[in-house]
Amino acid sequence: MSGAAARAEQKTPDKHFTIEGDLCTGCGLCEERAPDNLELASGDEVARVIRQPETPEEVEACTEAADYCPTGGLKPDDD
């Protein structure tokens, strides 16, 4: 299978995540679980999504981060 065909077969995850600033306490657990996608920058009180997941592994990491969020501030947008 050619590289182009292999890329065409890969499905981009449709799951997106948001952080509700009024719920986020800035504990940093989400960044620990999904550092490629979530960040709590130095001096910030609220985490932010720096990149939506692009692979199944990143979706899994972000889902785990949402599950571990003690306040429910990280939420998947289930479309």
Tens place of pLDDT for every residue, the chain, 79 residues? 454 444 444 555 789 999 999 999 999 999 999 999 999 988 889 999 999 999 999 999 999 999 999 999 999 987 4
Instruction: Give pLDDT, residue 25.
Output: 95
Q: Show the tokens assigned to 57.
A: 């592994």
Widest pairwise Cα distance in the chain: 48
Fold of 14-77: Alpha-Beta Plaits (3.30.70)
pTM of the predicted model over 0.75 = yes
Query: Within the chain, how many helices (H) and strands (E) appear?
Result: 3, 4
Q: What is the mean pLDDT of the chain?
A: 87
In the chain, domain spans: 14-77
Instruction: Give pLDDT, residue 14.
Output: 84
